[in-house]
Amino acid sequence: MPHGPRPSSGNPVGAFFLGFLASVVVSLVYGGIVYATYRDQSQNTVHALYVLHALLNGAVVGALVGLVAHRRTGAHVSGAAVAVLGTFFGYTNAVVFVTLDAGGLYAFRDMMQGDAFIPAKAWWGNGGGGRLVSLAGLVIAAATAWGLAHLVGRNRR
């Protein structure tokens, strides 16, 4: 039928899971980079790496979601949410990696027994500009993921 409903294309569930897998990989790579270089990092370097991680995580997730889900807006939004979560957990996992390297399993055990939210508190910062950078990273990840998913998916049928 020329004016009837079009058959839908794209796979939003597959796009979500592929975006999730890509986000996990990007976050683990970010955690590995932080783990390998944390002794030589200044506060500005930490912030720059975090923002770059947010941008890369959003770009990878958004491009994959757009390729697989095509024009499905719900999948674009879920890709943005996955990129935000990947950005947050990439940072918190890097804090855990550094804690394990600096103090070993005893430091990790003490952290878990004392306050299990230390990685999240480290992400939030000690006040000042750290909080703005933390929130900006989440906004960058979400905007990049949604924007790329929309641009890539718009051209696919």
At 91-104, the pLDDT tens digits run: 999 999 999 999 99
- In this predicted structure, what is the pLDDT of residue 4? 60
- Classify residue 17 as exposed, middle or buried by CB count within 10 Å of its CB (0-12, 13-18, 19+): middle
Instruction: Write down the H helix ranges in the chain.
Output: 12-37, 43-69, 73-114, 118-124, 129-154
Query: pLDDT digit string (tens) for 35-53?
Result: 999 999 998 999 999 999 9
> How high is the mean pLDDT of the chain?
91
64-82 pLDDT, tens digit per residue, is 999 999 888 899 999 999 9
pLDDT digits (tens, 9 = 90+) for 1-19: 566 666 567 788 999 999 9
Buried b (16+ CB within 10 A) or exposed e, 79-111: bbbbbbbbbbbbbbbbbbbbbeeeeeeeeeeeb
| % residues pLDDT > 90 (the chain) | 76
Mean pLDDT of 109-115: 91
* Backbone angles phi and psi of 72, in degrees to 5: -75, 110
- pLDDT at 87 exceeding the cut of 90: yes
User: Would you state the pLDDT for residue 130?
Assistant: 79
